[in-house]
Chain A
């Protein structure tokens, strides 16, 4: 049985904000199925009593002194933006006009 269907791949692509084509969906569905069936092997290890490792360095909440320093200028921060307006990032419409 397939681990993942074409419909699920389409749903995940939407969640990931990827406007994939029909041709990509056909190709990815098969490839992702092979990959997911292979990686599902992690489930073979019974590990109820094993704590998860998110990270190899045992650190949490690293603090530093709160010392003000110079940061990027507004121009530098906007220098790579596809569109900027009056010192701000300009974005496409966020709300539907009917809303």
Chain B
């Protein structure tokens, strides 16, 4: 038997269904791989060996069947897992074991997918490098001295290091796509409301979207199909059929894109991308044209205001959402000496439990929502959101999808962007507009720049998730997949 950790999820599922390999063997191979390499990668905050093996055994007993039955998965630590530690990479939730599963976790369990463990991330999903994890950063398997992207760097690195064939991420401003881009893996942000937020530890509720991560487009689509769909426990969940993303990915694999119009955003070109990233993007566009696609330049004049609008909206929502961490119902309580007041204990708890980026965003959000500043900041950012949505809508009258590099630069060395927080925010320049609009987008590896992976982003209209999978699968068939050096 070849190394099980190198196989795609689709191939593993097929071998397990045919009983050529057991789900327990597959889970064990990945758990052993984690044990062998994760001291160097640090993709995981918690490994649930017993839970994963038990779930795999249930598949082997024939209790659960399905398209991904027996295929193990890693879950970002911002998603609640009943009885399994969930910290959002924050000290304020250290040791917390949620009393319930997120809806997407329930769906993974029903699909017979063993959960290997919880992956590292920037604290509360705020960041683009995992350097803001309270438990230390994840190292990029392509170069252990470089960032794996963020906030979902642990999920992406687990895939690139062959510790898991599939992973769950969450995308508020690019936290699935940018880690995918810099680790040479695939990550998709579904349409907002297409996947349930129930059981996600909330960061920015109007933007947070859980989604699938994998090493191939087809695997990403298979996982998308398992987790997507209406959930009555999420009031913004969309009660409509899930687009057939698996069929779209299979269709795209054939490599025919005749009649598909790709929109290149004028305002993104020549703006901030490293030369190697721009070159890989241009080569990929040419590859797609050879498959029959047509390239059209479109103008989205308000995209340049997306980053400023996002960094008002997301901190505003986070300052409200994170008020729940008050040292009363769960997590840390600091300074409770029997004499201090509730308010003092709350302030000391939050000071001790939150890291610097979380504090910065809470303070900015509190400022932006303050009386006197509200109209100039938060109110104006919401109007920009309308203008960006209109830019997308008018672009999609002319083209089927929009394309861009996923992130302006390849994986950067640790410490190179932490002293100036705004430099870190620029990592999300190309991913953020989609979050403000609410549509789906995917990052797919498209080449290397100085030996490091470059991501190609495909953005589709709301509820047309299938479209981006078709183009992504076609690109993958043209450029292939990318394998990091051996660890």
* B341 and A17 contacting across the interface, CB-CB below 8 Å: no
Contact with B along A31-65 (1 / 0, CB 8 A): 11011101111111101001111111101001010
Q: A36-B367, A92-B341 are in contact. List 7 more A-B contacts (CB 8 A).
A: A4-B367, A52-B383, A53-B389, A57-B192, A62-B235, A82-B327, A82-B333
Residue of B nearest to A62 (CB): B235
- Give the docked Cα–Cα distance between A93 and B192 (Å): 42
* B331 and A82 contacting across the interface, CB-CB below 8 Å: yes
Q: A17-B350, A35-B364, A96-B341 are in contact. Are A45 and B384 (CB under 8 A)?
A: yes
* B360 in complex: contacting residue of A21, A35, A43, A45, CB < 8 Å: A35
- Give the docked Cα–Cα distance between A86 and B330 (Å): 17
Question: Which residues of the partner chain B approach A2 to less than 8 Å between Cβ atoms?
Answer: none
- Give the docked Cα–Cα distance between A19 and B386 (Å): 37
Sorted from nearest, which 6 A-B pairs have the closest CB atoms? Answer: A56-B438, A52-B382, A80-B330, A82-B333, A47-B383, A76-B99
B39 within 8 A of A: no
- Which residues of B pack against A, CB within 8 Å? 96-100, 192-193, 206, 232, 235-236, 238, 302, 305, 308-309, 311-312, 319, 323, 326-333, 336, 338-348, 350-351, 354, 356, 359-360, 362-364, 366-367, 370, 376-377, 379-387, 389, 420-422, 425, 436-439, 462
Residue among B319, B327, B376 with max Cβ neighbours from chain A (10 Å): B327
A83 within 8 A of B: yes
Name 12 A/B residue pairs within 8 A (Cβ), A-sorted.
A13-B359, A17-B350, A18-B363, A27-B356, A36-B364, A39-B308, A45-B305, A47-B383, A54-B206, A79-B97, A81-B330, A82-B336
Closest chain-B Cβ to A85's Cβ sits at a distance in Å of 12
* B206 and A56 contacting across the interface, CB-CB below 8 Å: yes
* B342 in complex: contacting residue of A27, A44, A80, A94, CB < 8 Å: A94
* B380 and A77 contacting across the interface, CB-CB below 8 Å: no
A26 within 8 A of B: no
| Residues of A1-22 whose CB lies within 8 A of B | 4, 8-9, 12-21
* A89 and B329 contacting across the interface, CB-CB below 8 Å: yes
- Give the docked Cα–Cα distance between A19 and B345 (Å): 9
Residue among A9, A15, A53, A59 with max Cβ neighbours from chain B (10 Å): A53
Residue of B nearest to A59 (CB): B236
Interface class of chain B by DSSP: helix
* B308 and A41 contacting across the interface, CB-CB below 8 Å: yes
- Give the docked Cα–Cα distance between A16 and B369 (Å): 12
Residue among B339, B347, B354, B370 with max Cβ neighbours from chain A (10 Å): B347
Q: A50-B383, A53-B389 are in contact. Are A42 and B305 (CB under 8 A)?
A: yes
* A34 and B387 contacting across the interface, CB-CB below 8 Å: no
Closest chain-B Cβ to A6's Cβ sits at a distance in Å of 12
Q: A19-B351, A82-B331 are in contact. Are A47 and B380 (CB under 8 A)?
A: yes
Question: Which residues of the partner chain A approach B340 to less than 8 Å between Cβ atoms?
Answer: 92-93
- Give the docked Cα–Cα distance between A80 and B193 (Å): 29
Question: Which residues of the partner chain B approach A13 to less than 8 Å between Cβ atoms?
Answer: 359, 363
* A18 in complex: contacting residue of B354, B420, B421, CB < 8 Å: B354
- Give the docked Cα–Cα distance between A33 and B302 (Å): 24
Residue of B nearest to A31 (CB): B421
Closest chain-A Cβ to B27's Cβ sits at a distance in Å of 27
* B384 and A59 contacting across the interface, CB-CB below 8 Å: no
Residue among A17, A19, A39, A42 with max Cβ neighbours from chain B (10 Å): A42
Closest chain-B Cβ to A10's Cβ sits at a distance in Å of 10
Question: Which residues of the partner chain A approach B436 to less than 8 Å between Cβ atoms?
Answer: 53, 56
- Give the docked Cα–Cα distance between A50 and B390 (Å): 11
- Give the docked Cα–Cα distance between A39 and B345 (Å): 33
Q: A56-B206, A91-B328 are in contact. Are A47 and B308 (CB under 8 A)?
A: no
* B383 and A28 contacting across the interface, CB-CB below 8 Å: no
* B364 and A52 contacting across the interface, CB-CB below 8 Å: no
* B236 and A39 contacting across the interface, CB-CB below 8 Å: no
Question: Which residues of the partner chain A approach B332 to less than 8 Å between Cβ atoms?
Answer: 82
* B383 and A80 contacting across the interface, CB-CB below 8 Å: no
Closest chain-B Cβ to A20's Cβ sits at a distance in Å of 6
Question: Which residues of the partner chain B approach A82 to less than 8 Å between Cβ atoms?
Answer: 327-328, 330-333, 336
Closest chain-A Cβ to B126's Cβ sits at a distance in Å of 13
- Give the docked Cα–Cα distance between A55 and B204 (Å): 11
Question: Which residues of the partner chain A approach B236 to less than 8 Å between Cβ atoms?
Answer: 55, 57, 59, 62
* A42 in complex: contacting residue of B344, B381, B389, CB < 8 Å: B381
* A81 in complex: contacting residue of B238, B329, B356, CB < 8 Å: B329
